[in-house]
Chain A
Amino acid sequence: MKRLLKGGHLVDPLQGIDGVRDVLLDGDRVVEIGIDLPVAADVEVAEVPAGCVVCPGFVDMHVHLREPGQEHKETIATGTAAAAVGGFTAVACMPNTQPVNDSAAVTRAILERASLVGSVRVYPIGAVSKGMKGETLSEIADLREAGCVAISDDGKPVLTALLMRRALEYAGMFNLPVIDHCEEPTLKGEGVAHEGYIASMLGLRGIPATAESIMVERDIALAEMTGSAVHIAHLSTRQALRGVWAAKARGIAVTCEVTPHHFSLTDQRLTAPIGYDTNLKMNPPLREQADVDAMIQGLRAGTVDVIATDHAPHQQDEKHVEFDRAPFGIIGLETAVPLTIDRLVHGGVITLRRMVQLLSVNPSRILNLPGGTLRAGRPADLTIIAPSVSTTVDLSKSKSLSRNSPFDGWSLRGSVAATIVGGRTVYVNHEVPGAAVFGPAAVRA
């Protein structure tokens, strides 16, 4: 069935488009982009509501779907449903499941489950090391063959410089990026909050910025040595960002991502309005204002390649404990796009075009995915946003199984209007006037 999205503002940086275009879809593919495309008899027409912006589908390259093994926190069904609501047409899921995704069998199980119950595309990320133990390499060729798009020991750093070197060399032969959670374990120690004045006054053990930057510098040096691509997960400090900036200037294949919470919150929030709120406990921790300013500058200038959520669901019981006993992490799939539009686009930091690079073009390129553009022949994965429609975060309505977010009740200017995956509408936001033309949504969870 053909579907024509008519008269919308299309932002597709790879085609150099930032203006009114019609988008013609046929089944799961894009067939044509143009101005005032003719309407054939067999075409269903959707007039894109005024103020909506049509974008190539957003890709969240850093989520934890928790399945298999921790289905009380999240499942592939609920996590991808949350992704659909959040405007993501694809997610890449980290391997720290139980069992760890360090074998083709686990990768295939995830993909099979995703094909049955997933609302959006799921791209597994395999473990760098067997059991994520930091000892020996996983069967990376096998993982890739089964469908992994990158390797990572996320949740932990790739433990030793030697293992990182070998991972880069070995994965490099498949053009598979290595994603590293950069944290020097001895400097991190038992830390639970950013080391600085706030943690000192609250009596919380600190995680120094240097724990991150020292590992980023190690990885950069090894990427330079091996010529392979390294991607820095959830970068959070100005020191590490400076390292990435300098490495890029030297032509080293390093990319990095920043989470919405690291560009919108500081450690100051640990003191008020709710002291020691465990929904503000994540790793890397919320940093200080100078770091948030640096993240914003990096997002503006291009040093930061990707906005990714590090969506990390934990059950309420697990978070309803003493701060130092609570697990790290917050959910983020449903709030990332509104936060990005509100804080960065309306905040005058980035243009819509840059936003699409951060959320779609760059993650697709880094992971070698078919998305990132709506060129003819590409998958019909689209995110339609309504930048001027406000949304109020209501966790009670979240599609995620977990509720661990510090953004409940936040009013943000910027909404997702609809999410289309492979030509199929998986989410329609009825708060956006006129968005019903994209529906009905066929969400599976």
Chain B
Amino acid sequence: MNAETSSATNATPAALPDETPMPANRLRRKDLVGIAELSVEEITLILDTAVAMKEISSRSIKKVPALRGKTVVNLFFEASTRTRTSFEIAEKRLSADTLNIAASTSAVVKGETLADTVHNIEAMSPDLLVVRHSSSGACHFLSRICRSGVINAGDGMHEHPTQALLDAFTIRERKGRLAGLKVAICGDLLHSRVLRSNVLLLTRMGADVWLCGPPTLVPTGFGQSGVHITSSLDEAVEGADAVMMLRIQLERMLGGYFPSLREYFNVFGMTVERVRRAKPDVLVMHPGPMNRGVEIASDVADGPDSVILDQVANGVAVRMAVLYLLSGGAEHEAVA
């Protein structure tokens, strides 16, 4: 992919140094709060841009000045290692000044409201806020009240758009397309923001999405989102091009959603035998962190079909793309 194939039109970006060809466009938006708001063209633009960004990470000097002078605040109200690290590396490779704020060290514990916390940070003129929060919709709320751009790094059970983008990037990189592929997503569907973003993205890009999990962990009415839902893992995996496992948290068992982790693995765990039902070149994916022996057997997680660590690597490229496309040329609209 290059600039010619993207839906690029007018805006010329501040050129990256050296020979890297960059898609000539920006996201014409202040924030990335969810896949729900993105068009097919915007998703394609991000994925195309990530191709160029991935190359940067393979260089000996892994840094370009695209975000020099920009301040990015990683505001994490919920614990995260993978996503926060991924964003931070992405920001640093683009030369942004970055700052990490974790909720446990912030004023939140002193009873300050989210709006006040963020207004205080905004007073110091950051350009972008990367936000993770345990409340669904927190990033929508912040995008309305903030001047800075807001990137959703996971809001409650709602969306985790950069995860879905990196998943799509990983699939597209291996399969060359998304349209027409059968993608099975299995596990705790109810509480998963990864699921919601992936369903929105994959269905929008024309994939055939199958969801599988115990009925107690299937969100009500989800069939309306244009997916197949089954409680048979075999049916979901049959002929799949990609199988994505979602994390099962111990709390869900305590919450009465299923009787035991043992039984969960017996019914819904991804084993080598089950993977054989998929296409021979199936991709086994997991957004992490994994519970080995609960939703996925170790020999699958570490097996030849697994692209789990590629997902992590691609996460940096996709986040670089999002940061780049949202920051550079975007003239932030005034917020009422």
Give A residues with C-beta under 8 Å from B: 195-206, 208, 274-276, 317, 320-325
Contact = CB atoms under 8 A, between A and B. Distances in A.
B27 interface: no
A322 B133 contact: yes
B220 A206 contact: yes
13 contacts: A197-B222, A197-B225, A203-B136, A203-B196, A205-B157, A320-B115, A321-B115, A322-B138, A322-B141, A323-B141, A324-B135, A324-B136, A324-B156
A227 B133 CA distance: 51
Contacts of B221: 195-198, 200
Given A274-B144, A321-B114, A323-B141, A200 B136 contact: no
Per CB-CB distance, the 5 closest pairs between chain A and chain B, nearest first, are A276-B137, A203-B158, A197-B221, A203-B157, A200-B219
Nearest to B218: A200
B141 A201 contact: no
B137 A323 contact: yes
A198 B36 CA distance: 12
Given A203-B136, A203-B157, 4 more contacts: A195-B221, A204-B136, A322-B133, A324-B135
B159 interface: yes
A205 B220 CA distance: 10
A178 B159 CA distance: 43
Contacts of B158: 202-204
B319 interface: no
Contacts of B93: none
A276 B140 contact: yes
Chain B interface extent, by class: 20 to 34
Contacts of A197: 220-222, 224-225
Interface in B146-195: 155-159, 193
B20 interface: no
Nearest to B190: A200
Given A276-B140, A276-B141, A321-B114, A203 B222 contact: no
B141 A208 contact: no
A200 B158 CA distance: 8
Interface of B: 36, 113-115, 133, 135-138, 140-141, 144, 155-159, 193, 196, 219-222, 224-225
Nearest to B189: A200
Contacts of B138: 322-323
Nearest to B33: A275
A205 B255 CA distance: 14
A206 B219 CA distance: 9
A223 B121 CA distance: 57
A202 B141 CA distance: 13
Looking at B133, B141, B222, the one whose CB has the most chain A CB atoms below 10 A away is B141
Contacts of A198: 221
Nearest to A275: B140
Contacts of A325: 135
Contact of B196 (A201, A276, A320): A201
B193 to A, nearest CB: 6
Given A276-B141, A322-B137, A322-B141, A317 B196 contact: no
A348 B220 CA distance: 33
Contacts of B114: 321-322
B225 A275 contact: no
A208 B221 CA distance: 11
B155 A203 contact: yes
A269 to B, nearest CB: 13
A339 B222 CA distance: 32
Contacts of B193: 203
Contacts of B115: 320-321
A202 to B, nearest CB: 6
A196 B220 CA distance: 5
A322 B136 CA distance: 8
A165 to B, nearest CB: 29
A278 to B, nearest CB: 8
B222 A200 contact: yes
Contacts of B155: 203
A281 to B, nearest CB: 10
Contact of B136 (A195, A317, A321, A323): A323
B113 A203 contact: no
A320 B113 contact: yes
Nearest to B200: A201
Contacts of B219: 200-201
Given A200-B220, A200-B222, A323-B136, A317 B159 contact: no
Nearest to B223: A197
A189 B112 CA distance: 26
Contact of A204 (B113, B133, B137, B224): B137
Contacts of A196: 220-221
A83 B114 CA distance: 34
Contacts of B36: 201
B249 to A, nearest CB: 15
Nearest to B133: A322
A198 B135 CA distance: 16
